[in-house]
Amino acid sequence: MLEKYQPADIELAAQQRWQKTAAARAVEDTSCPKYYCLSMFPYPSGKLHMGHVRNYTIGDVLARFHTLQGYNVLQPMGWDAFGMPAENAAIQNKVPPAQWTYANIEYMKGQLQRLGFAIDWEREVATCKPDYYRWEQWLFTRLFEKGLIYKKLGTVNWDPIDQTVLANEQVIDGRGWRSGALIEKREIPMYYMKITAYADELLAALDDLPGWPEQVRLMQKNWIGKSTGVRFAFPYELDGKADQLWVFTTRADTIMGVTFVAVAAEHPLATYAAAKNPEIAAFVEECKKGGVAEADIATMEKKGVPTGIFVTHPLTGEQVEVWVGNYVLMGYGDGAVMAVPAHDERDFAFAKKYRLAIKPVVAVAGHEFSTDAWQEWYADKANGVCVNSGKYDGLDYAAAVYAIAADLAAKELGEKKVQFRLRDWGISRQRYWGCPIPIIHCDCCGDVPVPDAQLPVVLPENVVVDGAGSPLARMPEFYETTCPKCGKPAKRETDTMDTFVESSWYFLRYCCADNDQAMVDERVAYWCQGGIDQYIGGIEHAILHLLYSRFWTKLMRDVGLFDNFPAGARLDEPFANLLTQGMVVAPTYYRDEADGKKLWLNPADVDLECDARGRPVAATLRADGQPVVIGGIEKMSKSKNNGVDPQALIDQYGADTARLFIMFASPPDQSLEWSDAGVDGAFRFLKRLWKIVYDHSSVGSVAAYVPGQDGELSPALKAFRRQLHLAIGKIADDYGRRKQFNTAIAAVMELLNAYGKLADSEPLARAVRQEALEAVAVLLWPIVPHIGEELYATLKPGCAISDAGWPKVDEAALKQDEIELMLQVNGKLRGSLRVPASADRAAIEAQALASEAVQKHLAGQAPKKLIVVPGRLVNIVV
């Protein structure tokens, strides 16, 4: 052992050793419990950022901790390799997306290896490789045949200048990010997966996921949005033809207060009205402007036009006018809603704006209705009763809904219905860099799935992308084919799949990445039995990725892929335990360019000017000294160029410091604003630890203290051993149950602070020191494995830390003779009290009352009440 801590040397040596001994290789082994530790795989964007370091360090700490606990641990890694950034890079740098992607994978893999993660690289998958996506295509054909994938029209962002479909992210303030053109909505045919058929199961199963954070289950529950209500119709006659306008409502009790009906711009009634009236046509056109993102639509000013078409109220027979509203979504329910301005806040605002009737039909005792302003109670369904509602007057919410639904049903104009907010998953993308959809379009046979023998449909990799439409659609050598059914010339589908599809099952493929005969095999049963033991990833994936993964697992189950697994290993849910890490956020900086686009600048290239309180007031680009605009503080991302590359940190301090620092900075589930203040402290701590072990071991070797054998300890050593064994227990709890690593590190720091204050150096003290240092090396090993192994090798030559196992807590060392209780008078801290650990309540009360601090604050008053919290405090109330 060298006197000086030199991280670069010991880290590279350790990494070479791990590679040579295949230390992280995971092999199925039924003789011990398995632990499948999964981190969300990265998109290969170029370089790692601190969010990745945080995510994968958490995973590595848990993996190594469970190795110490005797589990057979699997920690795999791969690449979410399809996606838009590769196409953007291709346009910018004129490099094929495949080439860019593979280069990024190579670089980022090197960074992950340099960080010392115990990853089994033999299981690596990259989703852009045919041996991966062929199975996705294979399952697609099965689902298509089962009717779980179908085709319908979907609305997309259309850039009329670039003649291309844009992602929501590429629409900025209603304009295309490259062309600057005003974006329009356009309907195109797309393939959809019937996730709504699984809505009930996806919802109900949330209750069986106790290992998931409550907030994630709640978000998914709200996303699925199961609501019970009534679907009913307004009959009408148009050009002599009778028809019905269907709507859904959860507030059927307010049906007598309907004063108009609103339909989406794409609704047939809107189309009909637009054909006759240029003003309505103009409004429908206006509704087509702008993108499809719900956040934009929901924050838009609510507008509408009357159509002049009237429908009949199904219960009152009154005529109700149909409006076209820009806030009604065609893809949601029936594309039409009933409007009850008196009891729906949005309808109220709309009615006030267009001076439509507001008819209150629910009253709440003690409240007076007024059309002047909206009041919270107008929408209260718990305390209301029907009024102005004829035969329904006096009924409460449940009774009114029941009676009204029954009356509608009797007229065959409605029924009770369960509706979900969840919509089917549109998976078609008009993009090149994705998994080809395995469908062949034949004029005679229709949409024909590609037969197994012709899979995979390989995506050509040497393709130039120019941003104007999908290059596949311009490649006859790709799309020209023959129909598998009739043999006539046919056209291959040129859309690719949503990249969420690849990330919905990669975690199963890790188990059997080398199987070229089947999508999954019995190794999946071994590793995934009871669910993946731990999944770690960003909270931003709380809904979409995690919901799609749950859905795909159920699809694979229902296609029969788990049928051959042992009973009990057939998966319903993929992830038993979920840890959602908070975002690592960083400031964004940009410049507005001449063509209206934003140029995002990396924080590392920006100099800041701060006010007296340290808040940034101005920023300049280091390269040219000119000002840049300070944007918001957002999650690190490629698109905003605010990712902080850990490389400089690793180069300067080493991987252990980087890992220790990011784990110490905050608990994993909290979002973390990036700052490197404190890195020095993490490095200093490792240097100090190194020096302590060096100083201790350079005197000569000594065996760790064995209680009951090595003799009685001084009070100081006894207290220190108590702290050591408390720390061992606390840190196991922090790693295992709480998954909070900053407090575990703090406990080791406190232990070393106490170690530094130990004065003794006689053999017994050295034995206790040895015991403590051996333990510390193991306790910290999950976080800082390189230095951990080095220190352990010095302390116990010839012994491997990975065989050491987690240190055992010596319960006897935890015992205390005396404890300290806090003394309060009227809840205010007035002193403390030392009592024997065995003291009973009466003795504690007596001693508390007798104490000087209490007597002083009682000032002669008689205590009214005495509260004793065992082991904590005494509160005296006067």
In whole angstroms, what separates CA 455 from the centre of its chain?
33
Question: By CB under 7 A, is residue 129 in contact with RNA?
Answer: no
Helix (H) or strand (E) holding 548: helix 544-558
Whether the Cβ atoms of residue 835 and residue 818 lie closer than 8 Å to each other: yes
Question: By CB under 7 A, is residue 23 in contact with RNA?
Answer: no
Residue of 48, 62, 166, 768 that binds RNA (CB under 7 A): 166
Q: Per-residue string for binding with RNA, 621-660, x by CB under 7 A?
A: -----------xxxx-xxx---------------------
Q: Which residues pair with 249 in a beta bridge?
A: 230
Question: By CB under 7 A, is residue 569 in contact with RNA?
Answer: no
Question: By CB under 7 A, is residue 67 in contact with RNA?
Answer: no
Q: Smallest distance from the beta carbon of 62 to RNA, in angstroms?
A: 17
Q: Smallest distance from the beta carbon of 561 to RNA, in angstroms?
A: 24
Closer to RNA by Cβ: residue 65 or 392: 65
User: DSSP secondary structure string, 71-139?
Assistant: -EEE---EE---SHHHHHHHHHH---HHHHHHHHHHHHHHHHHHTT----GGG-EETTSHHHHHHHHHH
Question: By CB under 7 A, is residue 503 in contact with RNA?
Answer: yes
Question: By CB under 7 A, is residue 745 in contact with RNA?
Answer: yes
Residue of 282, 829, 837, 850 that binds RNA (CB under 7 A): 829
Q: Which tokens belong to 205?
A: 């199963």
Q: Smallest distance from the beta carbon of 703 to RNA, in angstroms?
A: 27
CA distance 39 to 63: 10
CA distance 617 to 430: 43
CA distance 525 to 571: 8
Q: Smallest distance from the beta carbon of 562 to RNA, in angstroms?
A: 26
Cβ–Cβ contacts within 10 Å for residue 834, how many? 10
Question: By CB under 7 A, is residue 238 in contact with RNA?
Answer: no
Helix (H) or strand (E) holding 660: helix 655-665
Question: By CB under 7 A, is residue 250 in contact with RNA?
Answer: no
Q: Which tokens belong to 153?
A: 């029209």
Q: Smallest distance from the beta carbon of 599 to RNA, in angstroms?
A: 18
Residue of 363, 437, 532, 665 that binds RNA (CB under 7 A): 665
CA distance 560 to 299: 44
Q: Which tokens belong to 447?
A: 């949409």
Residue of 616, 678, 707, 736 that binds RNA (CB under 7 A): 678
In the region spanning residues 521 to 540, those forming contacts with RNA, defined by CB under 7 A, are 539-540
Question: By CB under 7 A, is residue 581 in contact with RNA?
Answer: no
Cβ–Cβ contacts within 10 Å for residue 571, how many? 21
CA distance 558 to 552: 10
Question: By CB under 7 A, is residue 58 in contact with RNA?
Answer: no
Is 638 assigned a ligand-binding role in the annotation? yes
Question: By CB under 7 A, is residue 816 in contact with RNA?
Answer: no
Considering only 436-444, 484-492, 512-520, 865-873, which stretch makes contact with RNA by CB under 7 A? 865-873
Residue (of 366, 360, 368, 361) closest to 391 by Cα position: 361
Q: Smallest distance from the beta carbon of 136 to RNA, in angstroms?
A: 14
Q: Smallest distance from the beta carbon of 612 to RNA, in angstroms?
A: 10
Question: By CB under 7 A, is residue 733 in contact with RNA?
Answer: yes
In the region spanning residues 257 to 276, those forming contacts with RNA, defined by CB under 7 A, are none
Cβ neighbors of 515 (< 8 A, separation 6 or more) are: 521
Q: Smallest distance from the beta carbon of 155 to RNA, in angstroms?
A: 9
Whether the Cβ atoms of residue 328 and residue 287 lie closer than 8 Å to each other: no
Taken in order 780, 781, 782, 783, is the CA torsion positive or negative?
positive
Residue of 83, 314, 384, 574 that binds RNA (CB under 7 A): 83
Residue of 371, 652, 671, 714 that binds RNA (CB under 7 A): 671
Residue (of 607, 645, 599) closest to 625 by Cα position: 607
Residue of 39, 53, 65, 80 that binds RNA (CB under 7 A): 80
Q: Smallest distance from the beta carbon of 350 to RNA, in angstroms?
A: 13
Q: If you search the block for the tokens 């200048």, which residue do you land on?
A: 161
Whether the Cβ atoms of residue 218 and residue 546 lie closer than 8 Å to each other: no
Q: Which residues pair with 262 in a beta bridge?
A: 323, 337
Q: Smallest distance from the beta carbon of 407 to RNA, in angstroms?
A: 31
Cβ neighbors of 813 (< 8 A, separation 6 or more) are: 707, 718, 721, 722, 724, 725
Mapping DSSP to helix (H, G, I), strand (E, B) and coil, where does residue 615 land? coil
Amino acid at site 271: T
Cβ–Cβ contacts within 10 Å for residue 112, how many? 18
Q: Which residues pair with 245 in a beta bridge?
A: 234
Residue of 373, 594, 677, 842 that binds RNA (CB under 7 A): 677
CA distance 801 to 68: 8
Question: By CB under 7 A, is residue 248 in contact with RNA?
Answer: no
Residue of 23, 95, 182, 219 that binds RNA (CB under 7 A): 219
Question: By CB under 7 A, is residue 363 in contact with RNA?
Answer: no
Question: By CB under 7 A, is residue 681 in contact with RNA?
Answer: yes
Residue of 27, 242, 295, 862 that binds RNA (CB under 7 A): 295
Question: By CB under 7 A, is residue 667 in contact with RNA?
Answer: yes
Residue of 54, 251, 359, 429 that binds RNA (CB under 7 A): 429
Question: By CB under 7 A, is residue 849 in contact with RNA?
Answer: no
Q: Smallest distance from the beta carbon of 220 to RNA, in angstroms?
A: 9
Helix (H) or strand (E) holding 347: helix 345-354
CA distance 414 to 216: 35
Residue of 106, 122, 169, 480 that binds RNA (CB under 7 A): 169
Q: If you search the block for the tokens 């005529």, which residue do you land on?
A: 319
Considering only 203-211, 313-321, 402-410, 679-687, which stretch makes contact with RNA by CB under 7 A? 679-687
Question: By CB under 7 A, is residue 506 in contact with RNA?
Answer: no
Closer to RNA by Cβ: residue 315 or 427: 427
Q: Smallest distance from the beta carbon of 176 to RNA, in angstroms?
A: 12
Give 199's Cβ-side CA count (13 Å radius): 18
Q: Smallest distance from the beta carbon of 780 to RNA, in angstroms?
A: 13
Question: By CB under 7 A, is residue 153 in contact with RNA?
Answer: no
Amino acid at site 65: F
Question: By CB under 7 A, is residue 578 in contact with RNA?
Answer: no
Considering only 19-27, 565-573, 662-670, 790-798, which stretch makes contact with RNA by CB under 7 A? 662-670
Residue of 69, 113, 168, 714 that binds RNA (CB under 7 A): 168
Q: Per-residue string for binding with RNA, 189-218, x by CB under 7 A?
A: -x-----------------------xx--x
Closer to RNA by Cβ: residue 409 or 746: 746
Question: By CB under 7 A, is residue 244 in contact with RNA?
Answer: no
Closer to RNA by Cβ: residue 73 or 645: 645
Question: By CB under 7 A, is residue 723 in contact with RNA?
Answer: no
CA distance 262 to 338: 6
Whether the Cβ atoms of residue 761 and residue 769 lie closer than 8 Å to each other: no
Q: Smallest distance from the beta carbon of 770 to RNA, in angstroms?
A: 20
Residue of 602, 666, 714, 851 that binds RNA (CB under 7 A): 666
CA distance 561 to 517: 13
Encode 50-81 in three state secondary structure.
HHHHHHHHHHHHHHHHHHHCCCEEECCCEECC
Residues making up the binding site for ATP: 638
